[in-house]
Every structure is written in structure tokens, then in C-alpha cells.
Chains A and B, each alone.
Chain A
């Protein structure tokens, strides 16, 4: 990777991204030792770990988009989703998710998700969180000045809108059910799903046609 460094000098390291066969770092060595011990002691199996990684890496915001598109199209599904998120998601063949709660945006209320203590995120549905979601800046600020943070994402909310921040402090994972743009009523689910981005599911954006 090459770029100019006119403003600062750092011969002590390069900016090459880590390569798969680089020498192991301290933390990689620690992870490897721990993993081998857990397998050796029968706490987990290598195949179990592999399968978990496979599920995590195949999860993506597209799952969330499918869930939302179904909820917009099917009132009974929407009711189940808001009452019992994990059952609703299982009925679409996704999961298991652990305890999964979906919070609904309405004309009066806007929801946004954070984990102030670490980076809890519904990974089994949406995959890995974006880097900013794990940043201290987002985590500290969105609970204290959500409107300012959302404005930085380009989302200006009216003073009349109630802002609800959900802090994922325990084992419950959250997803936002965005509002359906009114002009998309009656669209097929596949087309609706195309409107729903990852940020809509975290609450830092709204769905637009």
C-alpha cells in the first residue's frame, strides 16, 4: 500500500494490512493458545468453532432487510416480530439469535441502538458491526447527545420526534424496524428489502424510496 507521508515521519512501521501468513502477534498467539486449550479440555470442539464462524460470517444486513420487508408486508409477522423477535426470525429460517428485541420507529418515535459497555450487536442476524459502532466516540456520545450524533449521520430529526436510545447492556440484542416510506406500499418484498440498509437497522439512517 503506498501513499505519501509529507506531514509525518514513521520509519518504525509500515501501513501494509496484516497478511494471513504473517508471524503471529501477541494477541493472536493468546487466542490460539486459549482456543487449543478449550478444545483439548473438551469445552468446545474445532468443528463447533468452525460452524459458528461460518454462521457469523454468512450473516449480513441483508437478513435484517428481509425481516423488515416481511414486517412491512405482513401485519401478523410484524406483530410477532415486535413481541418475540427470536421466534419471528426463526420462522424465516434464521438464527438462533439468542434474545432478540426489535424496536419500532413510528412518525412520533425514532430508535437508535448502541452498546455503551462494549460492542454488543445482533451478529447472528446482521453479521459484524461497522467499525464506528465499536468506537468510543459513538458509544459515549449517542447516549448523551443522540440528536447531534444522528445529525452527523445526515439524519436531522424534528424537535417533536421522541428519540429512544437502546443501550444493549445485557444479553438482549436489538434491531430497529424502520418506517416504511409511504410511497412503497404494496411493493414486492424483494424490492422493499433493497431500500433497507445496515444503518436503517441500527437507527442512524431512515429508509428512503
Chain B
């Protein structure tokens, strides 16, 4: 079952576990909006070590550039999107 719906606001977790992961550092702690459900994928944290992966939904999440980079130079509507695993996302009050 997908944890989030398109339009939900989420915050990326700030964990920094000593493991392989696919959550870029520049987005940790940032708030974005779920844009697209990309379907179920195995966790990179498991796959990288040859373990049977726990499976979760990956979401395309869109962030306002000005939220990601306080010094951002460009339009206020500019965004950056990334594909993030649900176990890295927490619901954020809208």
C-alpha cells in the first residue's frame, strides 16, 4: 500500500546511516510535494549488500529550488525533482 498520495507534502529524513543509499544529501531535511507514484522498488540499502530487499514505493518528489538552496538565483517557480524511497519520507502538515 502506498503511504502517500500525489499532492502530499513530505519532509526528507535527515538520517545519515553508514550504508549505501540513494537519498541525496542536498535534499535531506527539505520539504517537497509528491508528484508521481513510481511503483514498488527494492531498497538500495538491502540490494547493495546482497540481502533480499524490503520493498517500498518510490515517489517522484518536487522541491522548490528556493527551499533547497537559500541562495538560489532563478525564478520562484523553479523546482528540482528526485525519486525517493518511502522509508526516507515523513508526512509534513500542509
A interface, CB within 8 angstroms of B: 99, 101, 116-117, 143-148, 159-172
Please tell me which one of the listed residues A145, A161, A165 contacts residue B81 in the complex, with CB atoms under 8 A apart.
A165
How many A-B pairs with Cβ below 8 Å? 75
Q: Note all chain B residues with C-beta closer than 8 A to A167.
A: 24, 80-83
Q: B78 near A163 (CB under 8 angstroms)? A: yes
Q: A169 near B24 (CB under 8 angstroms)? A: yes
Summarize A's interface: helix, strand, loop or mixed: loop
Taken together as a complex, chains A and B put the C-alpha atoms of A148 and B11 apart, in Å, by 28
Taken together as a complex, chains A and B put the C-alpha atoms of A147 and B65 apart, in Å, by 12
Q: Please, how many residues of chain B have a CB less than 8 angstroms from a CB on the other chain? A: 28
Q: A137: shortest Cβ distance to chain B, in Å?
A: 16
Q: Which residue of A lies closest to B84 (CB)?
A: A169
User: Chain B 78-94 against A: per-residue CB contact (8 Å), 1 yes, 0 no?
Assistant: 11111111000000000
Q: A164 near B58 (CB under 8 angstroms)? A: no
Q: Note all chain B residues with C-beta closer than 8 A to A161.
A: 75
Q: A171: shortest Cβ distance to chain B, in Å?
A: 6
Would you call B73 an interface residue if the criterion is a C-beta within 8 Å of the partner chain's C-beta atoms? yes
Q: A162 near B77 (CB under 8 angstroms)? A: yes
